[in-house]
Amino acid sequence: MAELKNIYFIGIGGIGMSAIARYYNFKGLKVSGYDKTPSELTHALESEGIEVHYEDDVAFVPKDIESTLVVYTPAIPHDMGELLYVREHGYRVIKRSKMLGEISSGQRCLAVAGTHGKTTTSTMTAHIFQDSGEGCSAFLGGISKNYDTNLLVSMNNVIVAEADEFDRSFLQLFPEIAVITSMDADHLDIYGDKSHIEEAFKAFASQVSGTVIKKYGLDITSGDTKARIMTYAYDDARADFHASDIKADECGYFTFSLHYPGGVIEGCKVGIPGWVNVENAVAASAIALTYGLEPTKVKNALSTFHGVKRRFDIHVNTPKCSYIDDYAHHPKEIATAVSSMRDIFPGRRLTAIFQPHLYTRTRDFADEFAQALSSVDKLIMLDIYPAREEPIPGVTSEIIFDKVTAPEKVLMKREELMEYLEKEDIDTLITFGAGNIDRFIGPITQMLSERA
């Protein structure tokens, strides 16, 4: 790729795309791109010297075809003007996942896959390597609160990557060590059913050269991969890596002993609250210890991990009012977050705001969403965020809302939300969703902070 001068990103504001854009900007190439709407992330890219525009206009595409590579995300519509243009005019055009595969080729790739937990676990893994002094380059699916970025760059040959199952992207990776956190049904618009999702994860496992560390109980066997198979769990002693002596303080921060094949690391503490982060810490530590990092350095790094923006992200926490934002957009993620909220804030009144993400996911998991959301005290349901999809007749937020049995529930458009919240008596609040619900984080935080 030495002959390249320009890399042009179609969909540059995506979390995975922006990390690769930042990587090549760091490497000194001319990086620019398109995204549909401005965001905090696109503004950050612009502040780093990357040109971003927000109109579908081929005038912005670099005209030097031979020295330009175009990277696109599958979330972009196939008939998008710029994408059609570069294909018709002979540019080299590749998907984001292929680009990440090329970057990691020949490197020591440490990957985290799974339908849930992969962003926090991969970011925690990267932090362990950074904090220990070993270092790594990392392409993350969220913004690390320790480093305020989704990209880390190191001079060594270690790459930590979030292995995304969407569009089978993770099959472009050939890791040395990989964690698989879960294989639940999701992205059924791509896979059709759960069995095909499981097939894809097994194919991913077959590409691991060293060690597959699966969550205990997942159906991945020696028939699926030539790699060594190890297991991790929250507190199941049958797993190779697991926690014991788990204790939470009054703010939901956990201490535990970490069991691994080489012994026990006592007195571990996770720097972010919630029981699920003990499980994530076990998985991240499993990668680090399998790689060969010193147990003491792993322990120290866990305590200084500050989390990931939009992953159980605490914005207000006073005795009068608490507000957490979470990227959860799958029923199991919502159920886990609600469980953690109940642990941290026992006896408090929990209000949830949920913006469904994708028509297909809403259709495929309406019953499961309703069940998970029924465990809150009050639900505020917004319209579906369509992302890359066209509407599906009969699929609206109401197909979830009508089945929710929470004591209180209300359905509204996003434009009505802030005015409604200003009149609400909020005790504990959590916002859920992978769409543009994040635009409300600042206004909600400001409003609740003024009340506190």
Q: What pLDDT digit, counting tens, does each position of 64-81 carry?
A: 999 999 999 988 888 999
**Would residue 1 count as lying in a domain?**
no
**Would residue 308 count as lying in a domain?**
no
Q: Could you tell me the pLDDT band of residue 187, with boundaries at 50, 70 and 90?
A: low
Which of 67, 96, 125 finishes a domain? 96
Same structural domain, 273 and 124: yes
User: Residue holding tokens 């305590």?
Assistant: 303
Pairwise CA distance, residues 11 & 9, whole Å: 6
Question: Domain with 444 in it: what CATH number?
Answer: 3.90.190.20
pLDDT digits (tens, 9 = 90+) for 420-450: 999 999 999 999 999 999 999 999 999 999 8
**Would residue 215 count as lying in a domain?**
yes
User: Residue holding tokens 């994040």?
Assistant: 438
Indicate whether 140 pLDDT > 90: yes
Same structural domain, 292 and 152: yes
Is residue 76 within 8 A of residue 11, CB to CB? The reply is yes
pLDDT digits (tens, 9 = 90+) for 98-132: 999 999 999 999 999 998 899 999 999 999 999 99
Query: Tell me, what's the pLDDT at 286?
Result: 98
14-34 average pLDDT score: 96
Indicate whether 157 pLDDT > 70: yes
Which of 268, 303, 338 finishes a domain? 303
Same structural domain, 36 and 113: no
Pairwise CA distance, residues 71 & 169, whole Å: 14
Same structural domain, 137 and 246: yes
Same structural domain, 279 and 130: yes
pLDDT digits (tens, 9 = 90+) for 400-416: 999 999 999 999 999 99
- Return the ∠ at Cα 117 (arms to 111 and 120), rounded to 5°: 75
**Would residue 270 count as lying in a domain?**
yes
Indicate whether 198 pLDDT > 70: yes
DSSP per position, 249-278: -TTS-EEEEEEETTEEEEEEE-SS-STHHH
Contact residues for 346 (Cβ-Cβ < 8 A; gap 6+): none
pLDDT digits (tens, 9 = 90+) for 216-226: 999 999 999 99
Q: Could you tell me the pLDDT band of residue 351, with boundaries at 50, 70 and 90?
A: very high
Same structural domain, 290 and 340: no
Pairwise CA distance, residues 42 & 14, whole Å: 9
Same structural domain, 235 and 260: yes
pLDDT digits (tens, 9 = 90+) for 314-348: 999 888 899 999 999 999 999 999 999 998 899 99
**Would residue 148 count as lying in a domain?**
yes
Query: Tell me, what's the pLDDT at 162?
Result: 94
Query: Tell me, what's the pLDDT at 1?
Result: 45
Torsion from C-alpha of 22, 25, 29, 34, nearest 10 degrees: 60
Same structural domain, 132 and 279: yes
236-249 average pLDDT score: 96
Same structural domain, 207 and 112: yes
Pairwise CA distance, residues 375 & 385, whole Å: 23
Q: How many domains are contained in the chain?
A: 3
Q: 347 burial class (0-12, 13-18, 19+ CB within 10 angstroms)?
A: exposed
- The neighbour count for residue 261, using CB atoms within 10 Å, is 10
Same structural domain, 146 and 185: yes
Q: Could you tell me the pLDDT band of residue 184, with boundaries at 50, 70 and 90?
A: confident
Query: Tell me, what's the pLDDT at 102?
Result: 93
Q: What's the predicted TM-score (pTM) here?
A: 0.88
Which of 303, 335, 358 finishes a domain? 303
Torsion from C-alpha of 349, 355, 357, 363, nearest 10 degrees: 80
Same structural domain, 376 and 407: yes
**Would residue 405 count as lying in a domain?**
yes
Q: Could you tell me the pLDDT band of residue 2, with boundaries at 50, 70 and 90?
A: very low
**Domain enclosing residue 200, as ranges:** 105-303
Question: Domain with 70 in it: what CATH number?
Answer: 3.40.50.720
281-293 average pLDDT score: 98
Same structural domain, 346 and 329: yes
**Would residue 415 count as lying in a domain?**
yes
**Would residue 382 count as lying in a domain?**
yes
Query: Tell me, what's the pLDDT at 387?
Result: 84
